[in-house]
Amino acid sequence: MTSQVSSPAEQTGGAEGAEGAEGAVVGGPRGSQGPGGKEVRRLDRVIIRFAGDSGDGMQLTGDRFTSETASFGNDLSTLPNFPAEIRAPAGTLPGVSSFQLHFADHDILTPGDAPNVLVAMNPAALKANLADVPRGAEIIINTDEFTKRPMAKVGYETSPLEDGSLDAYNVHPVPLTTLTVEALKDFGLSRKEAERSKNMFALGLLSWMYHRPTEGTEKFLRQKFAKKPEIAEANVAAFRAGWNFGETTEDFAVSYEVAPATTAFPTGTYRNISGNLALAYGLIAASRQADLPLYLGSYPITPASDILHELSRHKNFGVRTFQAEDEIAGIGAALGAAFGGALAVTTTSGPGVALKSETIGLAVSLELPLLIVDIQRGGPSTGLPTKTEQADLLQAMYGRNGEAPVPIVAPRTPADCFDAALDAARIALTYRTPVFLLSDGYLANGSEPWRIPDTEDLPDLRTRFATGPNHTLADGTEVFWPYKRDPRTLARPWAVPGTPGLEHRIGGIEKQDGTGNISYDPANHDLMVRTRQAKIDGIDVPDLTVDDPDRTARTLVLGWGSTYGPITAAVRRLRTAGTPIAQAHLRHVNPFPRNLGEVLKRYDKVVVPEMNLGQLATLIRAEYLVDAQSYTQVNGMPFKAEQLAKALEEAIND
Amino acid sequence: MTEVTVPDGSRLLSLVPKAEGRQSMKDFKSDQEVRWCPGCGDYAVLAAVQGFMPELGLAKENIVFVSGIGCSSRFPYYMNTYGMHSIHGRAPAIATGLATSRRDLSVWVVTGDGDALSIGGNHLIHALRRNVNLKILLFNNRIYGLTKGQYSPTSEVGKITKSTPMGSLDAPFNPVSLALGAEASFVARTVDSDRKHLTEVLRAAADHNGTALVEIYQNCNIFNDGAFEVLKDQERAQEAVIRLEHGRPIRFGADGHKGVVRDPATGDLQVVEVTAENEARILVHDARAASPTTAFALSRLADPDTLFQTPIGVFRSVERPVYDTQMAEQLNAAVEQNGKGDLAALLAGNDTWTVVG
């Protein structure tokens, strides 16, 4: 359970990667007999990767397998990986779309380094993914696509099915397309229509191999194609045909069981959830907890658009979603709604943040609550729209003119996006400030089990609007000063239009302390700049907790955001191998937890893994004069646990 | 949480609370010193707006002025209402968020030719097409004032300014044509120095359901003095200004000797000397025409350089669905269809499993 790793017992139990370092199928045969007289082996974890053309429905296939796995009660973690093009040229390497799923009978943290099973729907999928597949792993290949032209398209001069290049793998050649078409011959579909169901055939086969429940998928298909019942039934038939194929064919002699992860999960009711969905729910929950209407101003951008889509579906919660003409108007509308007293949000990715910078600066100056959700992706410029990266940290931190500090909150797992959204709302509302919520493509699209919170346990986010005068002039007149601050939080009053007697004007020009009137006075500007900074510096964030079970570690690994899973998995590997290492993970990057400096000084070495070129490390070094070492990767993919473990070990022994 | 609805045909202005007691112009003056250049046309517009507001009789705490950047965008500081002086060009976007989330407010945007048509052109056209309930006052002085005298998107071709010493190459926008092309439901033009006309146009704009765009020709006496002199000069104005009045023949000049007719060959409009023969053909102004075609043709009558034969008044005022009204209706419809949002049910979804200790 990736979001529940606070207790030491969970951190060491069932350690991910304690098994064979190559990630081969684990757990020995335990020799039971399955229903078809076939052997059933028990495994403690499996990593499956579905790969095909972007039109082959691999994301849907992965989603379905995930849902079945979640409902079965395994712990799981997913990694969708797809091209930016909606339909890249068929059969080409850039057009390959894949979905990796790691599931286990214990608590796991990442989508896994290397698949135990690869499903390759065509030559491009095989070629693009083979390098990640360890020797001895199983590869299920759709042989129908291994004809001359598709192979030539990706540079296979000879068929890998015949030239011995796959000898090191456990290959299952299956004519998936032919079998699907054959299974659907009574449905009166064209060949092309029938072929489309081949992903469901593959899903059925894998569902048999891993004893997945099937009712959910059949129900799902009938709902999805409710308006085309014949297509729904064809897909169900293909799905069942795939299952039966596994059951009857001799090529698949063994099936596998991965028991539910009963001990890894605290009691409760669970669902599977992706980061973007959890974030959208967190915003709705924050609106309810603050008793303020939610207003989203947004412009579609990958990988953030799902939040706009999701919130648009929940107008019955009083949620207003405004799809603006551009990124600037998206945040502009949100800021206007904030002035009017809404819980205002804008959602975007890096390029959108660049466009919103000036308005964020205005929000800093106006001191109004506003959430800026940045689902980071590869940059600079358009970069890698569908791949993950953490390279907007310094943009969020400094990407504005003038001294314009903005708090930064970073979720660590998909499910944690829910809590992080509530936390960001707390800061925005309490301190009357824009707040960055820095998620990324990996969290956004990845999913994991989530213990559904009791809504009664959610934090109280209610805030107070100003209702009357807050200042007495020398002559005894009671007046309202829009920039007279709360002495504890330094927040200014939130006086919303419609409140009699509090009419006031705010703007981006420097304001006189207290009155908020335009002021070009040098000393006043100096005071206001320092006061705005002090307000952000003084935000109440919890102390950083350090996981250092034996208190013998001399090296601390410090991360932020979505690297939590891979870092924690790597730390477990090291500890299992007897290497002590301490771990801490930041949710609050601005301001840093009060005790961070003291924590850093406790260790001889500090290693900071990031999916950028060392942005947090730069901040750490600047703030604390600590010789933090960067370990970085910017290939659009999350860290792999094994690679990270190796890097940490080298850093420790260096 | 149910959104307030307004019966068909009634005014959205009725959603804004009324003031208790009588208001005067003084109630709308803030305590801030007005800092425009002496002689600036903005003073006249400010006085006209402050003078007109008591007539609306709205609770002043429910009135908001939002502006961008530029000389005219200082306007909100001088109004004793709620106000926001925002950033360059973005006022329509910010006001859209406010107006769509708070239908109990009367939201006004104050902008200029550079703010609305150059850096903020995108937001302007999209506000207009959406028909958000905003009143946009576009102060057009055909120059950049605050940055000290560069040409603007409404400056005439060939204009000599600091940034165009050999003359501007840009073809100017005609803001009324632009607004009509952007599907605006209300478009009017008036002049800073004509307090009576300005007030009439403000009255019509305030009453309009949806976005109202009011172009105000405003003199910058420092960087573009006399830009509208042809429309103001007692002797010349009579021949240069075409006053549009809904339901009245479009005639102007001394004793209405000139009129606007449609050219039967091209369908375009032209100015003619009115004679006994053609008098029946003089176009009767119909601001409520469903099609914007004739309003657009009217907007093209003026000479873009000299402004000779400039129509002022309400070009177009039609009823069409208002964005914020429909947004509110969707919220109501969602509650009717799915019930009031239940957070616990939402979080649980349809596909859960339970772990028991």
Task: Tell me which chain A residues have a C-beta less than 8 angstroms from the C-beta of B105.
Answer: 340, 497-498
List B residues 18-77 in contact with A (Cβ-Cβ < 8 A).
Answer: 30, 32, 59-64, 66, 76-77
Per-residue model confidence (pLDDT) at position B352: 87
Q: What are the C-alpha distances in Å from A240 to residues A211, A244, B147, B228, B271? A: 13, 6, 72, 79, 78
Domain annotation covers residue B35: yes
- CA-based nearest residue in chain A for residue B61: A498
Candidates A294, A325, A364: best to mutate against B (most CBs of B within 10 A) is A325
d(CA A425, CA A422): 5
Interatomic CA distance for residues A130 and B29, integer angstroms: 74
Flag whether B290 is in a domain: no
* Cα separation, A438 vs A436, whole angstroms: 6
Whether residue B331 and residue A315 make contact (CB cut-off 8 A), yes or no, is: yes
Is residue B173 scored above 70 in pLDDT?
Answer: yes
d(CA B214, CA B192): 11
Q: How many CB atoms within 10 Å of residue B263?
A: 11
Residue among A222, A221, A190, A213 nearest A61 (CA): A221
Q: Is A350:A392 a contact under the CB 8 Å cutoff?
A: yes
| Whether pLDDT at B117 is above 90 | yes
β-pair type (B186-191, B310-317): antiparallel
Does the distance separating the beta carbons of B60 and A336 come in below 8 Å? no
Residues of A in contact with B64 (CB under 8 A): 339, 497
Task: Return the SS3 of A23.
Answer: coil
Phi-psi region of A245 (alpha: psi -120 to 50; beta: other; left: phi over 0): alpha
Residue A380, preceding peptide bond in cis (omega within 30° of 0): yes
Return all residues near A168 (Cβ < 8 A) that are at least 6 apart.
A135, A136
- pLDDT at position A32 is 58
Report how far residue A599's alpha carbon sits from residue B223's, in angstroms, rounded to the nearest whole number: 61
Closest alpha carbon within chain B to A289 = B343
Which of chain B's residues have a Cβ under 8 Å away from the Cβ of A285?
Answer: 343, 347
- Tell me the CATH number at B125: 3.40.50.970
- Start-to-end CA span in chain B (Å): 40
The number of distinct structural domains making up chain B is 1
First to last CA, chain A: 32
User: Helix axis angle, A305-312 relative to A275-290, nearest 10°?
Assistant: 50
Is B99 inside any structural domain?
Answer: yes
Number of C-beta neighbours around residue A120 at 10 A: 29
Q: How much is the pLDDT for A4?
A: 34
Given this model, what pLDDT does residue A6 score? 31
Query: In this complex, do B101 and A507 lie within 8 Å of one another by their Cβ atoms?
Result: no
String of b and e for A406-431 (b: at least 16 CB within 10 Å)?
A: bbbbbbbbbbbbbbbbbbbbbbbbbb
Query: How many beta carbons lie within 10 A of that of residue B78, not counting itself?
Result: 23
Residue written as tokens 């020709």? B217
Q: Report pLDDT for A330.
A: 98
Q: What are phi and psi of B191, to 5 degrees?
A: -130, 140
Domain edges within chain A? 8-258, 270-457, 464-540, 546-653
Strands A370-376 vs A343-348: parallel, antiparallel or unpaired? parallel
Residue B1 confidence class, pLDDT cut points 50, 70, 90:
low
Class of domain A546-653: alpha beta
Burial A252-264 (b: 16+ CB within 10 A, else e): beebbebbbbeeb
Partner residue opposite B60 with nearest CB, options A317, A455, A503: A503
Domain-embedded: residue B37: yes
Q: How confident is the model at residue B136 (pLDDT cuts 50, 70, 90)?
A: very high
Interface residue A494 vs chain B (CB under 8 A): no
- pLDDT value, residue A35: 55
Where do the DSSP E strands lie in A351-457?
A: 370-376, 408-409, 434-440, 447-451
Low-confidence residues in chain A, pLDDT < 50: 1-31
Phi and psi for B261 in degrees, rounded to 5? -125, 165
d(CA A424, CA A289): 13
Name the residue among A270, A315, A507 with its Cβ closest to that of B330: A315
The Cα angle at residue A558 between residues A555 and A560, in degrees rounded to 5: 170
DSSP tally for chain B: helices H, then strands E: 11, 12
Nearest CA in chain A to B64: A497
**Rounded Cα–Cα distance for residues A160 and A168 (Å):** 12
Q: Does B357 touch chain A (CB under 8 A)?
A: yes
Check the CA dihedral A243-A245-A251-A254 and report its sign. Answer: positive
Largest pairwise CA distance in chain A: 96
- Measured distance CA(A468)–CA(A495) in Å, rounded: 9
Predicted pLDDT of residue A25: 38
How far apart CA A70 and CA A447 sit, in angstroms, is 10
Interface-testing mutation among A68, A450, A505, with chain B (most B C-beta atoms within 10 A)? A505
Whether chain B has a CB inside 8 Å of the CB on A293: the answer is yes
Angle, nearest 10°, between helix axes B91-101 and B121-130? Answer: 30
Q: Which domain holds residue B123?
A: 12-227+322-348
Indicate whether B115 belongs to any domain: yes
Contacts of A206 (CB under 8 A, 6+ apart): A48, A50, A65, A117, A119, A140, A212, A242
Q: Print burial letters for B96-132: b (CB count within 10 Å at least 16), e (below 16).
A: bbbbbbbbebbbbbbbbbbbbbbbbbbbbbbbbbbbb
The full 3-state SS of A67-136, as one line of letters, equals: HHHHHHCCEEEEEEECCCCCCCCCCCHHHEEEEEEEEECCCCCCCCCCCCEEEECCHHHHHHHHHHCCCC
With cut-offs at 50, 70 and 90, classify the pLDDT of residue B355. confident
Q: What pLDDT score was predicted for residue B350? A: 85
Q: Which CATH number fits domain A8-258: 1.10.1240.10, 3.40.50.2000, 3.30.70.60, 3.40.920.10?
A: 3.40.920.10
User: ∠ CA(B318), CA(B324), CA(B327), 5° rounding?
Assistant: 125
Query: Residue A635 forms beta bridges with which residues?
Result: none
- Is residue B1 one of the residues assigned to a domain? no
* DSSP β-ladder status, B269-273 and B258-262: antiparallel
For the sheet with B251-252, list strands across it. Answer: B251-252, B258-262, B269-273
Extract the tokens encoding A150. Answer: 């598709």
Residue A34, pLDDT score: 55
Q: Tell me: the pLDDT tens digits for A524-568?
A: 999 999 999 999 999 999 999 999 998 999 999 999 999 999 999
- Structural domain includes residue B69: yes
Which residues on A lie below 8 Å from B353 (Cβ)?
70-73, 269-271
Q: Is A259 on the interface with B (CB under 8 A)?
A: no
A327-339 vs A350-366: helix crossing angle, rounded to 10: 30
Query: Do the domains spanning A270-457 and A546-653 agree at the CATH topology level?
Result: yes
Which residues of A are less than 8 Å from B62 in CB distance?
Answer: 497-498
Q: Report the relative pairing of strands A45-53 and A117-120 from DSSP bridges.
A: parallel
Instruction: Give CA–CA dist A210/A252, Å, rounded.
Output: 12
pLDDT of residue A23: 36
For residue A283, count CB atoms less than 10 angstroms from its CB and return exposed for 0-12, middle for 13-18, buried for 19 or more.
buried
Chain B: residue nearest A501 by CA? B61
- Chain B residues lying within 8 Å of A322, measured CB to CB: 96-97, 100, 327
Chain A residues whose beta carbon lies within 8 Å of the beta carbon of residue B32: 505, 517-518
Number of C-beta neighbours around residue A351 at 10 A: 18
pTM: 0.93
Q: CA of B147, closest CA in chain A: separation in Å?
A: 16
Round to whole Å and give the CA distance between B167 and A488.
Answer: 58
Strands across the sheet containing A546-547: A546-547, A582-586, A555-560, A605-610, A629-632
**pLDDT of the residue at B357:** 67
User: What is the spatial distance between Cα B321 and Cα B330, in angstroms, rounded to a whole number?
Assistant: 13
CA distance A105 to A261: 4
Contacts with A186 (C-beta within 8 Å, 6 or more apart), sequence order: none
CA distance A64 to B312: 64
B346 and chain A in contact, CB less than 8 A: yes
H or E element in which residue A247 lies? helix A229-248
Q: Average the pLDDT over B101-111 and give the result.
A: 98
Whether residue B92 is contained in a domain is answered as yes
Residue B84 has pLDDT above 50, yes or no: yes
- Residue from the list B77, B90, B343 with its beta carbon closest to the beta carbon of A455: B343
Distance CA A435, CA A425 (A): 8
Q: Contacts of residue A315 in chain B, CB cutoff 8 Å?
A: 330-331, 333-335
Q: Which of these, B208, B250, B180, lies nearest to B107 by C-alpha position?
A: B208
The fold of the A270-457 domain, in CATH, is Rossmann fold (3.40.50)
Burial class from Cβ neighbours inside 10 Å (0-12, 13-18, 19+) for residue A569 reads buried
Q: Radius of gyration over alpha carbons of chain B, in Å? A: 23
Quote the tokens at residue A171. 């290959």
Q: Residue-wise over A325-349: b if at least 16 C-beta within 10 A, else e?
A: bbbbbbbbbbbbbbbbbbbbbbbbb
